[in-house]
């Protein structure tokens, strides 16, 4: 997807990692869709399910590509300054090609104005440059820690390459060769490459100046030398074996010793693989708390994996633009928020996404296949609350056993759900049931 | 003749797409090997694919329960640490 030069420039000036000034105004969203990795680094621990730590490689929830797109949609509603969507793990983006490319294609199709970027260790890069180009990805980060295979063998205990696990310099020679070949191919393709280097005192501190020169010659756009994080509590090899990250002075000395012409990035926040918001302020936890209180936590559970075990609980989908009120036309909704309602208890259980099937004002119902997709997404729901709805989707929903409801238009969601429960469930109490979606 | 994925599995998805027999499936947040489908990659690859990419020690075991990647073999953290 070729982009014009001005659009490229704009994408870079609005990228908080590539342009320091952008970090005050432009938000980024990391989508944790890439769990697998094809190498091991001694500063990384593959247990990635932590909600409290803030460092690369850590996420609290892994997303499928579908969930990732629903998250982009939801975060965009809340953060209009969102400009960048990055895929940075928790494993290696390129070691998860199917999940990665499905996600990127979806973002390209539905959110064309957002800048896509990704991060990789570089091992699989040469074979994937074509795909990166095809999808119009103009910002790629490669983590490179040394050019010396012997030094690298002390950083990477193994790589998975050509169906085998390789160790030692046999492994690191391949890794470094692929990192450099990938860098060259990206530069030739006009992609802006940021090289991240983890400064590990006692291991690669004397090798980053050489790396800095080499990547400068090869046309890297930015060099980000960052301090290793090695808290023993994280359970990494370096952490447990007593290696420690550099202090400010050590970091500065290494940065100062780099003479290459590549610009150095010094404002990196080493963020999580599921970070949301401005660089200096991860809004992920805040947003989740906020959404929990009636405005919807983003859980994005796929309906086919959801189970309800309840005596009298209703599962209700809500079409809402604001996230707080029933204020969206059924045919305009791309995401429905799902609630389980029982008596006064309203609990948000997830979100489902569907393709918006109505592109006109009131001429709903012409495109049956998209309507069918919406029906599939809402499978298992008892009712759907929306602002308005056309005649033919109304009929289709009723036939599918889902009650369309538009009488709460403009009403606050929790209130509408409680009222709906009161008017229907009290009149028609049901037997205990267990619903298990297929 | 089959391998099994056991408790230490962290559910990272690396093994699933590599299995030549499509024997690996998600099971809750982790993964499981369907025993009748697993050939231990014999005749297909020199090394069993799941155990060659798995980053977690002691997560994949053979029929006798012996880990294919014993403690200390992948992370470099000594087994007795």
The DSSP bridge partners found for residue A213 are none
Q: Of A38-42, A111-115, A265-269, A307-311, where does mean pLDDT reach its minimum?
A: A307-311
The domain total for chain A is 2
Q: For chain A, give the percent of residues with pLDDT over 90.
A: 45
* CATH number of domain containing A106: 3.20.20.70
Q: Of A308-312, A340-344, A397-401, where does mean pLDDT reach its minimum?
A: A308-312
Banded pLDDT at A2 (limits 50, 70, 90): very low
Higher pLDDT, A28 or B69: B69
Domain end residue (candidates: A251, A286, A321): A286
Q: For chain A, give the percent of residues with pLDDT over 70.
A: 81
Are residue A328 and residue A383 in the same domain, yes or no?
Answer: yes
Banded pLDDT at A395 (limits 50, 70, 90): confident
Dump pLDDT digits (tens) for A166-217: 999 999 999 999 999 999 999 999 999 999 999 999 999 999 999 999 999 9
Are residue A78 and residue A122 in the same domain, yes or no?
Answer: yes
Higher pLDDT, A51 or A317: A317
When pLDDT is averaged across residues B11-36 and rounded to a whole number, the result is: 91
Q: Is residue A193 part of a domain?
A: yes
DSSP A291: I
* Domain spans in chain B, listed from the N-terminal domain onward: 4-61
Mutate to test the interface with B, among A37, A154, A159, A160 (most CBs of B within 10 A): A160
DSSP A305: G
Residue whose pair of structure tokens reads 């970091």 in the numeric block: A251
Are residue A230 and residue A306 in the same domain, yes or no?
Answer: no
When pLDDT is averaged across residues A215-225 and rounded to a whole number, the result is: 95
Closest chain B residue to the Cα of A57, Cα to Cα: B12
Banded pLDDT at A322 (limits 50, 70, 90): confident
When pLDDT is averaged across residues A135-158 and rounded to a whole number, the result is: 96
Banded pLDDT at A13 (limits 50, 70, 90): confident
User: Do you find a cis peptide bond into A308, omega within 30 degrees of 0?
Assistant: no
Higher pLDDT, A79 or A139: A139
Q: Count of CB atoms within 10 A of residue A232's CB? A: 13
Higher pLDDT, A286 or B66: B66
The span from the CA of A406 to the CA of A419, in Å, is 13
Are residue A311 and residue A263 in the same domain, yes or no?
Answer: no
Is residue A299 pLDDT above 50, yes or no?
no
Q: Is residue A205 part of a domain?
A: yes
Q: Is residue A376 part of a domain?
A: yes
Distances (CA, A) of A198 to A42, A305, B11: 11, 39, 26
Q: Which of A37, A163, A241 sits opposite B55 (nearest CB)?
A: A37
Q: Of A31-45, A186-200, A307-321, where does mean pLDDT reach its minimum?
A: A307-321
Are residue A280 and residue A311 in the same domain, yes or no?
Answer: no
Q: Is residue A93 part of a domain?
A: yes
Put simply, the chain A residues between 260 and 289 with a CB less than 8 A from any chain B CB are none
Q: Of A51-65, A185-199, A338-352, B17-31, where does mean pLDDT reach its minimum?
A: A51-65
Is residue A232 pLDDT above 80, yes or no?
yes
Chain mean pLDDT for chain A: 82
Q: Is residue A291 part of a domain?
A: no
Are residue A279 and residue A309 in the same domain, yes or no?
Answer: no
Are residue A81 and residue A145 in the same domain, yes or no?
Answer: yes
Is residue B23 pLDDT above 80, yes or no?
yes
Relative orientation angle of helices A368-377 and A391-399, to the nearest 10 degrees: 50
Are residue A253 and residue A337 in the same domain, yes or no?
Answer: no
Higher pLDDT, A426 or A28: A28
Could you report the predicted ipTM of this complex, rounded to two decimals? 0.96
Parent domain of A418: 301-436
Is residue A54 pLDDT above 80, yes or no?
no
Higher pLDDT, A231 or A285: A231
Are residue A116 and residue A246 in the same domain, yes or no?
Answer: yes
How far does CA A224 lie from the centroid of its chain? 21
How far does CA A277 lie from the centroid of its chain? 12
Q: Of A4-8, A359-363, A379-383, A391-395, where does mean pLDDT reach its minimum?
A: A359-363
Q: Count of CB atoms within 10 A of residue B9's CB? A: 18
How far does CA A332 lie from the centroid of its chain? 24
Dump pLDDT digits (tens) for A119-142: 999 999 999 999 999 999 999 999
The DSSP bridge partners found for residue A277 are A28, A282
Closest chain B residue to the Cα of A61, Cα to Cα: B29
Q: Which of A35, A48, A165 sits opposite B53 (nearest CB)?
A: A165
Closest chain B residue to the Cα of A95, Cα to Cα: B14
From start to end of A270-344, where are the E strands?
276-278, 281-282, 307-310, 314-318, 335-342
Are residue A192 and residue A257 in the same domain, yes or no?
Answer: yes
Mutate to test the interface with A, among B11, B19, B53, B56 (most CBs of A within 10 A): B53
Instruction: Say whether A163 and B47 touch across the interface (CB within 8 A).
Output: yes
Residue A369's pLDDT is 64
Is residue A292 pLDDT above 60, yes or no?
no
Q: Is residue A387 part of a domain?
A: yes
CATH for the B4-61 domain, from 3.90.1300.10, 3.30.70.20, 3.90.700.10, 2.170.120.20: 3.30.70.20
Q: Is residue A208 part of a domain?
A: yes
Strands across the sheet with A39-40, in order?
A39-40, A158-161, A164-167
Are residue A246 and residue A153 in the same domain, yes or no?
Answer: yes
Residue A236 tokens, joined? 């990494």
Q: Is residue A293 part of a domain?
A: no
Distances (CA, A) of B1 to A120, B41, B46, B67: 36, 10, 16, 15
């Amino acid at each position: 997807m070729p982009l014009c030069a001005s659009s490229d420039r704009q994408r870079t000036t609005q990228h908080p990692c590539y342009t320091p000034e952008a970090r005050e105004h432009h938000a980024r969203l990391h989508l944790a869709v890439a769990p697998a990795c094809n190498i091991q680094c001694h500063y990384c621990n593959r247990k990635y399910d932590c909600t409290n730590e803030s460092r690369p490689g850590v996420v609290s929830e892994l997303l499928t590509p579908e969930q990732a797109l629903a998250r982009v949609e939801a975060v965009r509603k809340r953060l209009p300054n969102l400009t960048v969507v990055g895929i940075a793990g928790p494993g290696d983006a390129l070691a998860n090609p199917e999940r990665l490319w499905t996600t990127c294609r979806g973002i390209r199709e539905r959110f064309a104005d957002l800048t896509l970027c990704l991060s990789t260790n570089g091992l699989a890069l040469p074979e994937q440059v074509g795909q990166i180009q095809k999808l119009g990805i103009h910002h790629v980060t490669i983590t490179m820690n040394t050019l010396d295979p012997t030094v690298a063998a002390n950083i990477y205990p193994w790589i998975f390459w050509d169906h085998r696990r390789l160790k030692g310099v046999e492994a690191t020679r391949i890794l470094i060769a692929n990192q450099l070949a990938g860098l060259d191919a990206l530069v030739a393709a006009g992609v802006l490459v940021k090289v991240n280097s983890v400064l590990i005192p006692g291991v690669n501190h004397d090798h980053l100046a050489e790396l800095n020169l080499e990547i400068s010659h090869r046309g890297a756009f930015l060099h980000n030398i960052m301090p290793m994080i090695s808290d023993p509590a994280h359970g990494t090899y370096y952490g447990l074996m007593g290696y420690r990250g550099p202090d400010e002075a050590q970091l500065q000395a290494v940065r100062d010793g780099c003479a290459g012409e590549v610009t150095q990035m010094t404002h990196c926040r080493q963020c999580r693989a599921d970070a949301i918001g401005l660089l200096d302020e991860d809004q992920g936890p805040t947003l989740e708390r906020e959404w929990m209180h009636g405005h919807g936590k983003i859980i994005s559970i796929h309906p086919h994996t959801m189970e309800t075990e309840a005596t009298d609980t209703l599962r209700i989908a809500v079409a809402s633009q604001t996230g707080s009120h029933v204020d969206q036309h059924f045919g305009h909704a791309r995401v429905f928020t799902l609630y389980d309602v029982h008596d006064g208890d309203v609990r948000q259980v997830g979100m489902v996404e569907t393709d918006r099937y109505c592109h006109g004002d009131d001429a709903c119902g012409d495109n049956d296949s998209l309507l069918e997709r919406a029906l599939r997404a809402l499978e298992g729901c008892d009712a759907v609350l929306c602002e308005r709805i056309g005649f033919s989707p109304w009929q289709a929903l009723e036939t599918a056993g889902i009650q369309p409801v538009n009488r709460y238009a403009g009403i606050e969601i929790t209130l509408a759900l409680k009222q709906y429960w009161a008017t229907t469930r009290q009149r028609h109490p049901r037997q205990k049931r267990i619903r298990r979606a297929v | 003749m089959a391998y099994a994925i056991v408790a230490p599995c962290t559910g990272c998805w690396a093994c699933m797409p590599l299995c030549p027999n499509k024997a690996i499936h998600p099971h809750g947040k982790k993964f499981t090997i369907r025993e009748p489908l697993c050939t231990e990659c014999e005749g297909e690859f020199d090394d069993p694919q799941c155990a060659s990419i798995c980053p977690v020690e002691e997560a994949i075991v053979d029929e006798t329960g012996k880990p294919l990647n014993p403690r200390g073999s992948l992370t470099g953290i000594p087994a007795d640490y």
